[in-house]
Chains A and B, each alone.
Chain A
Amino acid sequence: MELAWYALLGLFFATYLVLGGYDYGVGLLLARRTAPATRRAALNAVGPFFLGNEVWLVATVGILFGAFPTLEGELLSGFYPAVLGALAGVVLVTAGVQLRSRPTGERARAGWDRVVVAGSALAALGWGALLAGLLQGVPLRSDGHVAGLTHLGTPFVAATAVAMLSLVAAQGATFLTLRLPAAEAAPVARLAGRLVPAALAAVGTAAVLGLLSGRVRAAVAQPAAAVLLLVALVAALLAARTALGRGRPGLAFAATSATLALPVALVGAALWPWVLVSTVEPGVGLTVADAAASGPTLRLLGWLALPLLPALLGFQAMCWWVFRGRTDGRAPVYW
């Protein structure tokens, strides 16, 4: 039962990173000095999906609170700076994207675009830092509380945050290659072709720092799974590069999406059966089973989720299907 809920939690967070990843990736690409019309076209390419993408985060935290209350408290308060940064970023992107086209002046819109760029960067860096922080263990005391905030200040956390930023940027560029009108997609396709190797380098750096870090080696309980998923991540990046080179944006987008989902699977599998591993007191930690809510709560939520999940996925799929294909001159514009 706990495993099913843990998998569901991972599924929701991974889907959030994949879908929110292209929101933030497109947001980051607004930093390019392009014409106002190009920036607006990029945002409206995300258009109808934007609200539906961000809610995966809200649902993730809902599942975290409902099914893993103990983990929720320690995870969020124990990673205070990373969560604070990511949260501020999410708020800035949410407000910026939806409000940027409400003023008519180009200067006000450009100002909002900078808000979106900053928010996207904060969100990507924050979630990257959170995943890295989990993988290197936390100062968890035997009273069950995570003490201190400085545990996040390591090269591995910094490198992983940057790697997440580069993965998100590559995801955004690949999404635009797939979704913008074919005539306008060539420049983003070239950009995506440059961003994927950069992401490969950033992921490589983070991986090397992780392998060298004693804390990571001590915290990882399933090294085989970790290495296997890391190899899959690198393979997905290489596949994205090949697909972009051959002009197959759909395949490339599938591959870059995998690169954002795999880090979540990697952290979950590498630490199993633990979810928080203590760096200060050996043998102390929080297992997935201990972090979960008690039986009656999980059963109640389970009976609810069973009929609900198909509906949730169905309506999301309806949104993707209705607004599928490339945008064109007649596509609705609102952001």
Chain B
Amino acid sequence: MDTLLLARLQFATTTSIHFLFVVVTLGLVTLLVGLQTAGFITGKPMYERLTRFWGQLYVINYVLGIATGIVMEFQFGLNWSGLSRYVGNVFGAPLAIETLVAFFLESTFLGMWIFGWHRLRRGVHLALLWGVALTAYASAFWIMVANSWLQHPVGYEVRDGIAHLTDFGALLTNPTLGFAFGHVVSAGLVTGGVLMAAVSAWHLIRRTPDFALFRTSLRLGVLTTAISVVFLVGFGFAQFGPVGRVQPTKFGGGPERDALVAEWTARFGPGDYTPPALSSVGLGFMILIGFTLFLGTLLVPLLFRDWIIRLRFPLWVILLALPLPFVAVILGWIAREVGRQPWVAYGLLPTGHAVSPVGAGVMLTSLIGFSLLLGTLAVTNWVLLARHAARGAAHPALGRPPEPDADTRPEPVFA
């Protein structure tokens, strides 16, 4: 077997699983910030119960985000040592910044948030969740900076065959960055919104006890989806312009593509410089799903006088829509990443030159081992998420309910 193919398969598997959990993390943490802030301001117990219920699902989902993220980070060195050798001076910087600025703090804050319920002052506890959310967005931003550089390398010069950083600002103004970051963030919000609406719809269909609670989260989920899907579609179509300009081979032909392929053939020798058809087919389906979700905005008027619940069929529609954003984010990611092939850094480093010189046997072991491990963990995680979502908000494990007045606890630490 070809080590290049094995290494690509492994990266694709790990990244796809990672992405499924990361979009939920991004979306849910934003909604959680809204819920806990509302609880802090209004003092209504319902918001605290909502925060604890959705917070528990958020934390369970977060586990696989970290686990797959660590594997991805190591894969750059394990399987793609050419990437760090030739372009590490430039590509490594945003990744290093992401781990230090964003992920390091995000996890530190989250640990304190999970164990800080009713132990820290309410304001400090709320600030920690804000910290988790802001660092999660920062994390997404720096990862997109790194990814956009691979899509369209800028701000570097090649000396002795190795890329050196010349202009870090160019990485931040990369034409493939801005709209794509907006698109990913909106996708996270849509996924979080659909997930929240679908779980609430399930409880409302089953007529479980917490009507008022799930009514609130249904409305929040539907409104979040309806607002962010507009941005999602907008940022999606806005990308065609810049991507078509800097990556002419990605979505179709034209004289620009032919000129670029001729230039590459002259510089790198003859070869197939068009991406596999898989990417554009996936893109078509993703756009269809995007439009379907866009129709979800039609549900918003039904929020009036709870018609969305009284009519019941909208609840079923929402529940059945749950897989759509997940399928769409994978297809979108495939369009962006497969559409860049055969380059790991577009027009600079062919994918084949980046793969590590390790044996096919080792690569295959690693592929099978980590795919099985992460696949099993992902399925287990979804089963746990489904069970906890179905169990309802009566006794979430996250944080104790506020204790009665005969309270002997010491004063909250950390004033």
Residues of A within 8 A of B (CB): 47-52, 54-59, 61-67, 69-70, 72-77, 80-81, 83-84, 87-88, 90-92, 94-95, 98-99, 101-103, 144-145, 147, 149, 293-294, 296-297, 300-301, 304-305, 308, 311-312, 315-316, 318-319, 321-323, 330, 332, 334
Give Cα A169 to B295, complex, Å. Answer: 57
Give Cα A334 to B67, complex, Å. Answer: 19
B78 adjacent to A76 (CB under 8 Å)? yes
Q: Is B237 an interface residue (CB 8 A)?
A: no
Give Cα A296 to B92, complex, Å. Answer: 12
Question: Chain A's nearest CB lies how many Å from the CB of B70?
Answer: 6
**Nearest-neighbor residue (CB-CB) of B357 within chain A:** A145
Question: Chain B's nearest CB lies how many Å from the CB of A233?
Answer: 27
Chain A proximity mask over B331-365: 1 for CB below 8 Å, otherwise 0: 00000000000000000000000001111001001
Give Cα A74 to B77, complex, Å. Answer: 7
A80 adjacent to B358 (CB under 8 Å)? yes
Given A72-B92, A94-B66, A323-B115, A315 and B109 contact (CB-CB distance below 8 Å): yes
Contact of B88 among A59, A69, A94, A319 (CB under 8 A): A69
Contact of A62 among B73, B85, B168, B400 (CB under 8 A): B73
Given A48-B114, A55-B104, A72 and B397 contact (CB-CB distance below 8 Å): no
Across-interface contacts of A83 in B (CB, < 8 A): 74, 77-78
Q: Which 5 A-B pairs have the closest CB atoms?
A: A69-B88, A66-B96, A62-B99, A73-B81, A76-B77
20 contacts between A and B (CB under 8 A): A51-B114, A52-B108, A55-B108, A58-B99, A61-B77, A65-B76, A65-B95, A66-B93, A72-B76, A73-B356, A76-B77, A77-B77, A77-B356, A84-B369, A296-B89, A301-B96, A308-B100, A312-B100, A318-B112, A319-B111
Give Cα A113 to B112, complex, Å. Answer: 23
A322 adjacent to B89 (CB under 8 Å)? no
Question: Chain A's nearest CB lies how many Å from the CB of B239?
Answer: 27
Q: Is B145 an interface residue (CB 8 A)?
A: no
Given A102-B388, A296-B166, A322-B116, A73 and B73 contact (CB-CB distance below 8 Å): no
B115 adjacent to A48 (CB under 8 Å)? yes
Given A52-B111, A69-B85, A61 and B64 contact (CB-CB distance below 8 Å): no
B70 adjacent to A300 (CB under 8 Å)? no
B108 adjacent to A58 (CB under 8 Å)? no
Residues of B within 8 A of A (CB): 59-60, 62-64, 66-67, 69-71, 73-74, 76-85, 88-93, 95-101, 103-105, 107-112, 114-120, 162, 164-166, 168, 356-359, 362, 365-366, 369-370, 373-374, 377, 380-381, 384, 388, 397-400, 409, 413-414
Across-interface contacts of B116 in A (CB, < 8 A): 48, 322, 332
Given A304-B97, A316-B108, A149 and B359 contact (CB-CB distance below 8 Å): yes
Known contacts A294-B164, A321-B414; 14 further A-B pairs (Cβ under 8 A): A52-B108, A55-B103, A61-B74, A65-B92, A67-B96, A69-B88, A72-B77, A73-B84, A73-B85, A77-B356, A84-B78, A144-B85, A296-B168, A312-B100
Across-interface contacts of B409 in A (CB, < 8 A): 330
**Nearest-neighbor residue (CB-CB) of B388 within chain A:** A102
B117 adjacent to A50 (CB under 8 Å)? no
**Nearest-neighbor residue (CB-CB) of A47 within chain B:** B115
Give Cα A311 to B101, complex, Å. Answer: 9
Across-interface contacts of B91 in A (CB, < 8 A): 69
A293 adjacent to B63 (CB under 8 Å)? no
B111 adjacent to A48 (CB under 8 Å)? yes
Main secondary structure on A side of the interface with B: helix
Give Cα A62 to B76, complex, Å. Answer: 11
Main secondary structure on B side of the interface with A: helix
**Nearest-neighbor residue (CB-CB) of A49 within chain B:** B111
B108 adjacent to A147 (CB under 8 Å)? no
Which of A56, A149, A305, A330 lies at the interface centre, i.e. has the most chain B CB atoms within 10 A of its CB?
Answer: A330
Give Cα A84 to B362, complex, Å. Answer: 10
Given A47-B115, A54-B66, A149-B362, A87 and B96 contact (CB-CB distance below 8 Å): no
A296 adjacent to B64 (CB under 8 Å)? no
Give Cα A76 to B165, complex, Å. Answer: 23
Question: Chain B's nearest CB lies how many Å from the CB of A302?
Answer: 11
Contact of A76 among B64, B74, B89, B100 (CB under 8 A): B74
Given A94-B63, A95-B63, A300-B165, A318 and B414 contact (CB-CB distance below 8 Å): yes
Across-interface contacts of A88 in B (CB, < 8 A): 369-370, 373
Question: Chain A's nearest CB lies how many Å from the CB of B282?
Answer: 28
Across-interface contacts of B118 in A (CB, < 8 A): 332
Given A301-B93, A332-B116, A149 and B111 contact (CB-CB distance below 8 Å): no
Give Cα A90 to B115, complex, Å. Answer: 22
B357 adjacent to A77 (CB under 8 Å)? yes
Across-interface contacts of A75 in B (CB, < 8 A): 77
Across-interface contacts of A312 in B (CB, < 8 A): 100, 104-105, 108
Give Cα A187 to B335, complex, Å. Answer: 57
Give Cα A319 to B131, complex, Å. Answer: 14
Which of A56, A58, A67 lies at the interface centre, i.e. has the most chain B CB atoms within 10 A of its CB?
Answer: A58
Contact of B112 among A59, A62, A80, A319 (CB under 8 A): A319
B413 adjacent to A294 (CB under 8 Å)? no
Contact of B168 among A59, A67, A70, A300 (CB under 8 A): A300
